[in-house]
Structure 1
Amino acid sequence: MSSRLALSVVLIAKDAADLLPECLESVSWADEIILLDSGSSDGTPQVAARHGAKVFHATEWHGYGKQRQLAQSYATHPMILMIDSDERVTPQLRSSIEAALEQPAPGAIYSLGRRNLFLGRFMRHSGWYPDRVTRLYPASFQYNDHQVHESLETQGAVVTPLKGDLLHLTCRDFSTFQWKQFAYAEAWAKQRYHQGKRCGVFAIFLHTIGAFFKTLVLRAGFLDGKQGWLLSVVNAQYTFNKYAALWALNHTSHASGKGGL
């Protein structure tokens, strides 16, 4: 009798009808696919159902972390593979996942190496590869509550890297990517503000310059050609937006408390 653990693939999605077919086909070998829809208007639930996914709905948004927790609560199998609609499991990664399921270690958690697409190029440097993310894990684990940049609570467990890439279509359309980055920056700032974090004007520029230097030089972004240079600027811009938004929240709050003076 095989000791293979059954696998639930879990996704959260909104208005991802164009991305889902390739994504779901890449994990069609899983024992079940769970998709939590967040109020799509483009037929995402119908596309997911046609590709064999069990579709659930949650129109109230509480952040990425809690949304992933809710999606995972619908899974019925002992192992979870958490992916996004703009990600695809390559054949080599599938083989690695299936091997891990065939010979499971108690409480084993696995990381996947992502290859991120940026303006027509799958990046090899710039901190975007292998960009390991912890996505294959026992159902006893779950994501934290973070609004953005959520991550799995590993509770000190050893994380084993798997071979094979998870393709991530990060930036297919530059304008859409920029709007998403701005939304992430705003959510990050609000979360830090409610945690009582503060930021000075000098720190804004220090973090911004540091982000550009880290991407281009320390993470060898220059080896990714034109896209590496552009990504360095984008990362700096995103960092500026995060800290400037945090400064603005604190400044506005302080001004309101002083009667606008």
Structure 2
Amino acid sequence: MNEILNIAIVQAHLIWENPIQNRINLSRMLESISKPIDLVILPEMFTSGFTMHAESLAETMQGETIKWMQTIAQDRNCALTGSLIIEEDNNYYNRLVFVYPNGKIESYNKRHTFTPAGENKVYKAGVEKVILQYKGWKICPQVCYDLRFPVFARNTEDYDLLYYVANWPKPRIAAWDALLKARAIENMSYCVGVNRIGLDGKGHEYPGHSAVYDVLGEQLTYLEANKEGIEILQLSKEHIAKNRKYLGFLNDKDRFNLIM
């Protein structure tokens, strides 16, 4: 079990519907990481941007992007995660993939599809909350619009880290900032948000604001708006345990079951 988890959050400009170029650009960004890293977090739909053109852009779980992720994870001896468009059983998913250093894969299908953009008409929504086990850390992965629904993120599993990968646009970025902090506070966990930058093919602008919050809602790091970058930092199990013991807020949570 690792008392410290070294993470890298990647705020990238995504090229509209161009998986090959996005993989090339992200590879170049990741080459700048010289320190040992346990986990690298990429944005939502990192190969394409937030597109509804699933039919022409979907890959399989044996496709080029999954192979690319496995190669990087194995070469750098780290876990790598982000979401992409996956076709499976005649359905399309906005699927978050978590690749372990040994190449093993776990995944989470975005539960809350973004109805204002018609995501619900193109992508099948997930039905299961996922908790990952990695180096002694319990990790809860979620995707973009999930951030608006606190019941789904409710920390009933005593997870240590909650993270969101996103294409969150500029007009609603104040909600992104506020809700990331709120999810950290209410769940007494680290909360990480990784957002893209740049314009997409529909003219929507994404400003980044990727950030990490501790269990008390203190902002530990923040990537400058509208600029590509990678931020590396350490998360501490001791910080979680100390604050949960001293401030047992999770012990007093309301009891109910979530029916999906």
Range of TM-score over shorter length: under 0.3
Q: Which has the higher strand share?
A: 2
Q: So what's the TM-score if we normalise by structure 1?
A: 0.25
Q: Normalised by the size of structure 2, how large is the TM-score? A: 0.25
Kindly indicate which of the two structures has a greater share of residues assigned to helix.
1
Asked which structure has the greater CA Rg, the reply is 1
